[in-house]
Amino acid sequence: MASTIRVRATSSGDTTEVQALIQHPMDSGFVKDAKGDLIPPHFIQQLIFEHDGKNVFVADWGTAVSKDPYVKFSFKSGKKDDDLKISWVDNKGASDSTTAKIQ
């Protein structure tokens, strides 16, 4: 199955820039469907980036994060070909994870 997580991590000098795009509806609980019923909230609560056994970035998200969320950050100490592990869990207990190589 194709992962819901797309990541690009590029190392330049002593910093690694990470951009991640995740496929997720991020339903806020305020939007109605075609029949006029409220679509219940369904959103990623926590997104974690791990490098070398340590968390380098943790996102706590609410319903106000856009559908198919995007996030960008940078950290020190990443090297080319290092593994970067990304995992998320949503408010319904679903989760996904992937491991990307730093380029």
Partner 1 sequence: MTSAHNGFPATRRLILQGAATVALVGLGNLPFGLAPAFAAANDKWPEDAFKAKGEADAIKALYGKTAEPSDKVKLDAPEIAENGAVVPISVTTSLDNVTTISFLVADNPSALAASYQIPPGTMPSVANRLKMAKTSNVTVIVEAGGKLYSATKEVKVTVGGCGG
Comparing C-alpha atoms, which of 65, 63, 60, 67 is closest to residue 28? 63
Query: Distance between CA atoms of 87 and 96, rounded to whole angstroms?
Result: 6
Token pair for 71: 């996030």
If one asks whether residue 23 binds partner 1 (CB under 8 A), the answer comes out as no
DSSP secondary structure code for residue 42 in this structure: B
The answer to whether 89 touches 96, Cβ cutoff 8 Å, is: no
- Name residues contacting partner 1, limited to 72-101 (CB under 8 A): 72-77, 87, 89, 92-95, 97
Cβ proximity to partner 1, 2 vs 76, nearer residue? 76
Interaction with partner 1 in 36-65: which residues (CB under 8 A)? 45-46, 52-65
Binding of partner 1 by 27 (CB under 8 A) = no
By the criterion CB under 8 A, which residues form the site for partner 1?
A: 15, 26, 28, 30-32, 45-46, 52-67, 69-77, 87, 89, 92-95, 97
